[in-house]
Structure 1
Amino acid sequence: SPSLRRLFIDREISQTDSFYLQQLKKFSHLLKIRNKYLKEKLYENEEYAIYEKEFVECGSYLIEQRKKYIQEISNFVEKIYQNLFDSEKKLKMFYKSCFNLEKTNSLSEIREEFWKEIEKKREKEIQYSFSMVGPHKDDFIFLLEGEDAKLYASQGEKKSIIFSLKLSEIDILSKNKQELPIVLIDDVTSYFDRQRCESVLKYLQEKKVQVFMTSTESLDIDAKYYRIEKGEVYEIINS
Structure 2
Amino acid sequence: LRSRNFLLKNRKDEPDILSSYSAVLAASGSEIVLKRRKYAVLLENLMKKLFEELYPALANFQVRMHFTRETEDRESYFQKLERDVRKDLLRGAVSCGPHLDDFDFLFDDKPMRSFGSRGQCRMTSLILKLAELEAVRETSGALQDTVVLVDDAAADLDIRAREAFLEKIRQAGQTFFAFTEIPPEFQLENSDKFKIKAGTVEK
**Range of TM-score over shorter length:** 0.7 to 0.9
**Equivalent residue for 1:15?**
none
**How far apart, CA to CA, are the structure 2 residues paired with 1:192 and 1:44?**
56
Write the deviation string for residues 177-227 of structure 1: whole angstroms up to 9, x where unpaired.
22324555454223424443223224456x6977665632225x8845777
**Equivalent residue for 1:165?**
128
**How far apart, CA to CA, are the structure 2 residues paired with 1:228 and 1:38?**
46
Q: CA deviation at 1:61?
A: 1.4
For the residue of structure 2 that corresponds to 1:142, the secondary structure is: strand
Which consecutive segments of 4 or more residues in structure 1 shift more than 6 A?
A: 225-229
Question: Closer, same or farther in 2 for the Cα pair 1:193/1:187, shift >3 Å?
Answer: same
After superposition, residues 147-226 of structure 1 pair within 5 angstroms as 147-180=110-143, 181=146, 183-204=148-169, 213=177, 215-219=182-186, 223-224=189-190
Write the deviation string for residues 150-170 of structure 1: whole angstroms up to 9, x where unpaired.
101111110111111100122
**Equivalent residue for 1:100?**
69
Contact residue 187 and residue 216 of structure 1 kept, 8 A? no
**How far apart, CA to CA, are the structure 1 residues paired with 2:173 and 2:5?**
44
Contact residue 91 and residue 143 of structure 1 kept, 8 A? yes
Q: TM-score, normalised by structure 2?
A: 0.76
One-letter code aligned to 2:184:
E
Question: Closer, same or farther in 2 for the Cα pair 1:68/1:43, shift >3 Å?
Answer: farther
Please say which of residues 117-126 and 53-62 is displaced more in the overlay. Answer: 117-126
Please say which of residues 48-57 and 176-185 is displaced more in the overlay. Answer: 176-185
Question: Closer, same or farther in 2 for the Cα pair 1:49/1:195, shift >3 Å?
Answer: same
Q: RMSD value over aligned CA atoms?
A: 3.3
Question: Closer, same or farther in 2 for the Cα pair 1:113/1:197, shift >3 Å?
Answer: same
**Equivalent residue for 2:81?**
118
**Equivalent residue for 1:8?**
none
Aligned: 1:74 with 2:41: no
| Aligned mate of 1:47, from 3, 7, 17 | 17
**How far apart, CA to CA, are the structure 2 residues paired with 1:93 and 1:161?**
11
Q: CA deviation at 1:93?
A: 0.8
Identity score, percent: 24
Aligned: 1:90 with 2:60: yes
For the residue of structure 2 that corresponds to 1:189, the secondary structure is: coil
How many residues align? The count is 194
**How far apart, CA to CA, are the structure 2 residues paired with 1:137 and 1:222?**
40
